[in-house]
Structure 1
Amino acid sequence: MKATVTWAGEELFLAQSESGHSLVLDANGGKTAPSPLENVLLSLGSCSSVDVVSILQKARQKITDCRVEIDATRVDSVPRLFSDIHLHFVITGTDIAAKHVERAVSLSADKYCSVALMLNKTVKITHDFEIVEA
């Protein structure tokens, strides 16, 4: 896997993936685009959500929506790394079994989500969930 990041002026950077997709990152506190660290959180949430949805679908759960709310804490010293990240999954559907959601969230965190597994080496990542009846 390869990628290219090109300075676009001021504190903006254009990131391009090997597959041809692009996104703009803003190192100036995310004023005009996500900051690099915001993008890490977005990547974590996306990676985890892909797993959770896939696992729940394979378990034949009737989900209509999956949202993950992410809350991160950074240390006060430089570099301002993440110390803690909490993922709160909100699963909407009909007759969703909590045991299936708990299993899906745990499997994502402990086995499948590459982003979580990389971050987990230095960041305390926790998660929980709620089920909303459609």
Structure 2
Amino acid sequence: MKARVKWVEAATFIGESGSGHALVMDGPPESGGRDLGVRPMEMLLLGMGGCTAFDVVFILQRARQPVSDCVVELSAERAETPPKVFTAIHVHFIVKGRGLSEKQVARAVELSAEKYCSASIMLGKAARISHDFEIVEED
């Protein structure tokens, strides 16, 4: 896997993925940024959320569960002094479908957390990670 990050100006950078996608990262105004894009640490958290959401949906689909939506809400705490690493991350899944099995959803979350989501497993080396979920019955 490869990526490239190019400085644009002030605290603004363009990140380009090896697969050809680009995004803007920027710092807050108090650090010289213009608030033009996501912060790099927010990107880390978003990456973890995307990784685990992908896993959970994929696992549920493979289990033939009628999943129609999956939202992952993440909240993180950071150390107060540099390096301001994540110290705790909570992941809350909101899974929607008609007749979803609570056991299957719990298993999908567990498999992602413990076996498949490389981003959360890697971040778990530095931060305490917790998970929970809710199931929303589709009309």
State the TM bucket, normalised to the shorter chain. Answer: over 0.9
1:84-123 matches, within 5 Å, as: 84-123=88-127
User: Which residue is equivalent to 1:2?
Assistant: 2
TM-score (norm 2): 0.93
Identity across matched positions, percent: 49
1:1-134 matches, within 5 Å, as: 1-28=1-28, 31-134=35-138
Q: Aligned to 1:77, what secondary structure does the other structure show? A: coil
- How many angstroms does 1:79 deviate by? 1.6
Q: Aligned to 2:80, what secondary structure does the other structure show? A: coil
TM-score (norm 1): 0.96
For residues 91-112 of structure 1, give each alpha carbon's deviation from its aligned partner in whole angstroms, at most 9, with x where no partner exists: 0000001100000001001000
RMSD: 1.1
Whole-angstrom distance in 1 between the partners of 2:4 and 2:67: 36
**Number of residue pairs the alignment of both structures matches:** 134
Which stretches in structure 1 are left out of the alignment for 5+ residues? none
- How many angstroms does 1:80 deviate by? 1.3
- How many angstroms does 1:28 deviate by? 2.5
Whole-angstrom distance in 1 between the partners of 2:81 and 2:15: 27
Whole-angstrom distance in 1 between the partners of 2:25 and 2:116: 26
The runs of at least 4 aligned residues of structure 1 exceeding 4 Å deviation read none
Paired residue type of 2:56: V
Whole-angstrom distance in 2 between the partners of 1:59 and 1:19: 29
- How many angstroms does 1:27 deviate by? 2.5
